[in-house]
A and B are shown apart, each in its own frame.
Chain A
Amino acid sequence: MTKPLIMVVDDEREYTEKIANVIKSVNKYEVITAYSAKSAFIQLKKHRQLFGIFNNRVRLILLDINMPDMDGLTFLEEMRRKYCGEKIGVIMVTAYEDEDKWDKATSNFVVGYITKPFDPELLLSMIDRFFSHEEAYVDMTIEVFDKHLEKMEESKTQPKT
């Protein structure tokens, strides 16, 4: 059985390589990197199977929000449109300041958020969970939605100062 393929998308090369190394170090996953949204699309296209009838070989994308040219959110939106039939999990690698942008990400079905800087163990556990069983993709997506709804409730009850 081939190892699942994970793509790390971040404009910061050094950081991208580091994340890739962390994932590689557990020897369970294959990792590819992309330094921009554009090259990420190229990679996705490259790893299509039978013109998209089968799932894309890229199962999980670790996506940075803050990128020049096309940011992570736009990429996500575009990707969901282009590869709507394909089940590709997305973990947003982001910062707390970008929380207000999470609506958009959440509505495009992400399986989790991880805030920079992060503990590699946390990332690995999220990845492990994602690949643990078929339903994990759905579970995690729903969890994200739930959390998001909770947060919205909170902000409603707490009037803005």
Chain B
Amino acid sequence: MRILLKFYQSINLLNAILSFVIGLGVLFSKKLSKQIIQFSLFAFFVSLWALFYFLAFQSKDYYISAIYFRTCMIAGALILPMFTEFVFTFVGKKINPIYRWLNWGLSALIISTIYTNYYAFDGGPILVFHYWPVIGVMSFIQIILYGINVFFSHRELFKASKSSVHFLRQQAKIILFGTSLGYFGAATNFLLWFKIPFPPIFNIFIPIYVVSVAFAITKHELMDIRVAITKSVSYGMVGVLMILSFVIVNIYQLSVILSIAANSLLGLFWAFLARRAREFIQTPIEEKWIVGWYDTDKLIIEIIKLLIPVYESKEAFKILADKLIATIRIKNIHIFYAQKDKENKSVKFALSDNSCEFSANNPLVAGLKGVTKYDDLSDEIKDSTKDCKCLKNSLLIPLFSTEGLEGVLVLGPKISEDAYDEKDFILFRILMDQALMVLDRIRPYENIQKEFEANQNKLYKAEMQIEKTQRLASLGTVAAGVAHEIRNPLGILQLSIAELNPQNISNPEFIKKFKDESTQNIKRINGIIHSMLSLSKGATSEKIAINLNEIIDQTIAFFVFKKVRLAKDYSGAPKIMGNPEELKQVFINLIDNAVRAMPNGGELKIKTYIDGGESVIEVFDTGSGINKNDLPKIFDPFFSTRQDGVGLGLSIVYRIVNDHNGKIIAKSESGAGSQFTIKFPAII
């Protein structure tokens, strides 16, 4: 029976100290607010109550115990209205003034009578207690006050736990849990008043009550209560197992040496296993119980692995965002990218769709140093960024490189509507560090890439310029042929005009012939000039249905074959969709090459036919051929075996054939001529 008293006393002492410490802790841990002050007062009252309770039974003197006991009830009378005040402040409701006056009034009334017989008569010993009061009138009133406060605080907390504000809801649930336990535990104090022999052992719930409420209003933002519980459960289970194992080992009366050996072995065993066992128990419980639960270490390793092959900061951000959405289950993530000017300085931050942007000296980004809740920012900053809807209720994770801010991840609320807890914050901080490393690694590549792209652009422009030059050069080679072509019809025209004389001018037959001839020849000249111009201009991309044979014939007309014998072998009419001018360029280059390969004469053979779905052109020459080593390089730009060659002819051919979805194959043997085979997809 003495043990029960000791247990009871230690609960009270624990309660007194704990409540006092928590009250102080809460008071100094956060910015002072009405809620915090009210809670601290509540905690101090609880502490006082427990302290005097403890003192009342610590003293053996009957009267001193009586005074301490009654003093303890003063604190008890203050706890109830104080807690209700706190609850109302917490749920953000105004307390009904009538109720408030009633509450505090009754409380004051009780306190004023506490040392009188109106409150209670001094009673005798009961159970283990040497003093216990006998119920008086005011005690009934106190029980009524108790009932009223239980009702109101529970009602408000219950309502809040159903509220739509996710944060409040979570807190309210925790407080409701603690409050129910606490009031239930406190209620057991009343049983002895009515001579019901049940000791108020459930006072043990009161510290839980205070702790859970304190947790709810302070730590909740940082730590998920479920994490706290799973942690305590797993630690507890491992602790129990540990104690059990030692008890079992020591229950047998072993010899000293054996006992020492067994105990130290067990000690080593637990030293090795305790943490693992705890994790073994904790992890599956958390995984099952908590939505969006993740293993921080695993997640970070996964993210690092994903970031290894990344060479672009945008991509890195995207990977981070995707991974976070998938594991923490976040409703939405927005990414603000830094956009840089030429000197690599961040100029502004914007979403990828540019819907929302601010300059680099905007107070929001300028002041961003670590993971920040948007709601915690000053009103001034909020005001300057109020256009950005995505920032509302968000968490900002700045991602730095050593050069400065590279981007900001804007995390929306979780799908579960839970708040971000301490675990999340730790993760975000590690991610910031990882991002710093990755971004610093990426930066040189990005710079190189930028330079490379710029150079590529220049090179491309130069190539286009050279291609144009080459086109003009090949124009030069055909110019002689063109001149011949033009001179013939011109000559005919001139001679026709010379034929005009007074006699035949009235001859209708002659005039008709004259007209026909002239028109035809003018058309011919026009056609030649047109094809020459189109060559120099560069081609349009327009593709029409064309007969390759016609194109080749028109191309051949540009050339003057001196020593080279031309053999045409056309079978059928190979038609393709193509750009006539570009294709002319192809044949000009091929024929030009062939003719140049045969300075001492030879045969140029052009063969066309249709093979399955393909229109095929083969150009043979009996010229010097191409060296075996050079053959793979002939389509490369700037590769030339001729001294006067630019080396673009065949590369242009290759490009044009490619543009027409065609294939070109070169076969050649040094000294034995070359053969170019071009295959285009045929049309019917």
Which residues in A have some Cβ–Cβ distance to B below 8 Å? 12, 14-15, 18-19, 21-22, 25, 66, 68-69, 71, 95-98, 116-121
Contact, CB under 8 Å: B480 / A97: yes
Within 8 A of A (CB), among B587-618: none
Instruction: Establish whether residues B490 and A117, one from each chain, have CB atoms under 8 Å apart when the complex forms.
Output: yes
| Chain A: minimal CB distance from B486 (Å) | 9
Of all A-B residue pairs in the complex, the 8 with the closest CB atoms, nearest first, are A117-B491, A116-B487, A18-B495, A120-B498, A117-B490, A117-B494, A116-B491, A12-B488
Question: Told that A116-B487, A117-B493 touch, could you supply 19 new A-B pairs with CB distance under 8 A?
Answer: A12-B488, A15-B495, A18-B496, A18-B499, A19-B495, A21-B495, A22-B495, A66-B484, A96-B483, A97-B480, A97-B483, A98-B480, A116-B490, A117-B487, A117-B490, A117-B491, A118-B491, A118-B494, A121-B498
* Contact A18 B484, CB 8 Å, known A68-B561, A119-B498, A120-B498: no
The listed residue (B490, B492, B562) touching A14 by CB distance below 8 A is: B492
Most buried by A among B480, B487, B517: B487
Provide the B546-565 mask, 1 if CB < 8 A to any CB of A, else 0. Answer: 00000000000000111001
Point out the residue from B487, B494, B498 that lies within 8 Å of A95, measured CB to CB.
B487
Contacts of B488 in A (CB 8 A): 12, 15, 116
Report 28 cross-chain contacts, Cβ distance below 8 Å, ordered by A residue.
Answer: A14-B492, A14-B517, A15-B491, A18-B492, A18-B495, A18-B496, A18-B499, A21-B499, A22-B498, A66-B484, A66-B560, A68-B566, A71-B562, A95-B483, A95-B484, A96-B483, A97-B479, A97-B480, A98-B480, A116-B488, A116-B491, A117-B487, A117-B491, A117-B493, A117-B495, A118-B494, A119-B498, A121-B498
CB distance from B503 to the nearest CB of A (A): 11
Which chain B residues numbered 514 to 572 have a C-beta less than 8 Å away from chain A? 517, 560-562, 565-566
Main SS at interface, chain A = helix
> Complex formed: what's the CA distance from A138 to B493 in Å?
33
CA distance A66 to B494 in the complex (A): 19
Query: How many interface contacts (CB-CB < 8 Å) are there between A and B?
Result: 53
Bound-state Cα–Cα, A68 to B566, Å: 8
Please measure, in the bound complex, the distance between the C-alpha atom of A15 and the C-alpha atom of B521, giving whole angstroms.
Answer: 11
A126 to B484 CA separation, bound complex (whole angstroms) = 22
Q: How far is the CA of A12 from the CA of B557 in the complex (A)?
A: 13
Residue of B nearest to A11 (CB): B488
Complex Cα–Cα for A121 and B497 (A): 12
Which B residues touch A71, using CB under 8 A?
562
Q: Which residues of chain B have C-beta atoms less than 8 A from A18's C-beta?
A: 491-492, 495-496, 499
Instruction: Report which residue of B479, B480, B491, B499 has the largest number of chain A beta carbons within 10 angstroms of its beta carbon.
Output: B491
Q: Separation in Å of the B499 CB from the closest CB of chain A?
A: 7
Chain A residues whose C-beta falls within 8 Å of the C-beta of B496 in the assembled complex: 18
Residues in A with CB closer than 8 Å to B494 are 117-120
A12 to B517, CA, bound (A): 14
Nearest-neighbour CB distance to chain B for A70, whole angstroms, equals 10
Cβ contacts under 8 Å, B480 to chain A: 97-98
B residues sitting closer than 8 Å to A (CB atoms) are 479-480, 483-484, 487-488, 490-496, 498-499, 517, 560-562, 565-566
Closest to B487 in A: A116
Considering the chains assembled together, what is the distance between the CA atoms of A71 and B480 in angstroms?
15
Q: How far is the CB of A21 from chain B (nearest CB, A)?
A: 7
A22 to chain B, nearest CB (A): 6
**Chain B hits for A120, CB < 8 A:** 494-495, 498
Of B498, B517, B561, chain A has the most CB atoms within 10 Å of the CB of: B498
Q: Which residue of A lies closest to B566 (CB)?
A: A68
- Residue ID in chain B nearest A95 by CB atoms: B487
B517 contacts across to A, CB distance below 8 A: 14
Q: How far is the CA of A83 from the CA of B560 in the complex (A)?
A: 27
| Interchain CA distance A119-B499 in the complex, whole Å | 11
B499 pairs with A15, CB closer than 8 A: no
CA distance A25 to B496 in the complex (A): 12
A96 to B479, CA, bound (A): 12
Tell me, rounded to whole Å, the shortest Cβ–Cβ distance linking B219 to chain A. 92
Q: Which chain A positions have C-beta within 8 A of B499?
A: 18, 21-22, 25
Q: How far is the CA of A118 from the CA of B488 in the complex (A)?
A: 10
* Interfacial chain A residues near B479, Cβ < 8 Å: 97
A98 to B480 alpha-carbon distance, docked (Å): 8
The residues of A that contact B484 with a CB separation of less than 8 Å are 66, 95, 97
* Complex-state Cα separation, A117 to B498, whole angstroms: 12
Task: For B493, list chain A residues within 8 Å (CB).
Answer: 117
Closest beta carbon of chain A to B497's beta carbon, Å: 9
Give the nearest-CB partner of A73 in chain B: B562
B489 CB to closest chain A CB (Å) equals 8
**B484 and chain A: residue at smallest CB distance:** A66
In the complex, A130→B378 CA distance in Å?
A: 110
Task: Please tell me which one of the listed residues A14, A21, A22, A69 contacts residue B565 in the complex, with CB atoms under 8 A apart.
Answer: A69
Task: For the complex, give the distance between the alpha carbons of A129 and B561 in Å.
Answer: 34
Bound together, the chains give a CA A21 to CA B491 distance in angstroms of: 13
| Complex Cα spacing A97 to B562, Å | 14
* Candidate in A14, A68, A69, A119 with the most chain B CB atoms within 10 angstroms: A14
Q: Please, which residue of chain B has its CB at the minimum distance from the CB of A12? A: B488
Cα(A68)–Cα(B563), bound, Å:
9
CA distance A116 to B498 in the complex (A): 14
B566 to chain A, nearest CB (A): 7
CA distance A121 to B498 in the complex (A): 9
User: How many Å lie between the Cα of A147 and that of B494 in the bound state?
Assistant: 27
Closest chain A residue to B520, Cβ basis? A14
CB distance from B369 to the nearest CB of A (A): 71
User: What are the residues of chain B within 8 A of A12 when measuring CB–CB?
Assistant: 488, 492
Closest to B561 in A: A68
Chain A residues with CB under 8 Å of B491's CB are 15, 18, 116-118
Shortest distance in angstroms between B558's beta carbon and chain A's nearest beta carbon?
12
Which A residues lie within 8 Å of B492 (CB)? Answer: 12, 14-15, 18
Chain B nearest CB, measured from A75 CB (Å): 12
User: CB-nearest residue of chain B relative to A68?
Assistant: B561
A88 CA to B595 CA in the complex, in Å?
33
Q: How long is the Cα–Cα vector from A12 to B491 in the complex, in angstroms? A: 11
Which residues of the partner chain A approach B495 to less than 8 Å between Cβ atoms? 15, 18-19, 21-22, 117, 120
